[in-house]
Structure 1
């Protein structure tokens, strides 16, 4: 993987079958994007993973990774987080952004600066911005100004 910002795109949750396939929990709105990712790395970039086959569905992705040819080998990957380089993400249109772009942005609520985004959570009812001070605020209905790096929330 090129030396670039790494973006977490999924996690291997279990082996699948006896031929070395794995089940991947995708952190993407479109699991089919995994078909476009040629090389992924683990957290430490110590190992690159190349997909031989990718079968996305609504809940998980079934994938075959080169060099992992049986269930025992696939089991060693359980819990591995998968990253791609920022440069490998699909291009965005105008007024589009990736969630990772929001990290570090200033949050403005009714004219008051309430903090900076530390991470984004989603517990099923919509995205929640977790601020560096530990506060949480709903991202539902928010607007993002990428030029000024400010998120306006209700």
Structure 2
């Protein structure tokens, strides 16, 4: 494996039918792109699944993979998260485009351009993406919704983003 960051691209949903096919939920713009990224890796960088053939499905793809021959083997891998090295993904075309993984490590700057922390992780707890910010002065991390209001500016190539703290977003005007 390369020294590139791993990017979460898919998750095994379990068996599809009784002949060893597996349903894979894709977290890519084009689910069939998973075929081109194969072999897919585990979180530790070790081999995960090698897609031999695939067809589109409502949440991703139904695939035949080298490592699975039976329905039981497919079901045993249910929930397996699959990754690819960042450098195997297509390059971004525009300075306003980026992969969520590219946000990790960026400086978080407030409205006055003061560095208030660094993006430690991008999490999604089910509702939307959240940036986990590690404060510059140390202490507990805090979460920032990854919305235009809370993160109005991203300069990934320059190494920073604008972070408007939750208490600053939508706060009522004094006397309102």
- Whether the TM-score (by the shorter chain) exceeds 0.5 is yes
**What is the aligned partner in structure 2 of residue 101 from structure 1?**
102
Which runs of 4 or more aligned residues in structure 1 lie more than 3 Å from their structure 2 counterparts after TM superposition?
122-126
Higher relative contact order (CA 8 A, sep 6+): 1
Between Structure 1 and Structure 2, whose CA radius of gyration is higher?
A: 2
SS in 1 for 2:87: helix
1:138–1:153 CA contact under 8 A, matched in 2? no
Q: Label 1:87 to 1:149 Cα distance change in 2 as closer, same or farther (>3 A).
A: same
Higher strand share: 1
Q: Residue 32 of structure 1: CA displacement?
A: 3.0
**What is the aligned partner in structure 1 of residue 160 from structure 2?**
150
CA RMSD of aligned residues (A): 2.2
Structure 2 gap segments, 5+ residues each: 135-139, 165-176
Structure 1 gap segments, 5+ residues each: none
Matches for 1:50-89 after TM superposition, within 5 Å: 50-89=50-89
Q: Residue 125 of structure 1: CA displacement?
A: 5.2
Output the TM-score relative to the length of structure 2.
Answer: 0.74
The size of the alignment, in residue pairs, is: 153
**What is the aligned partner in structure 2 of residue 113 from structure 1?**
115
**What is the aligned partner in structure 1 of residue 145 from structure 2?**
138
Q: Label 1:125 to 1:69 Cα distance change in 2 as closer, same or farther (>3 A).
A: closer
Q: Residue 34 of structure 1: CA displacement?
A: 1.3
Q: Residue 87 of structure 1: CA displacement?
A: 2.2
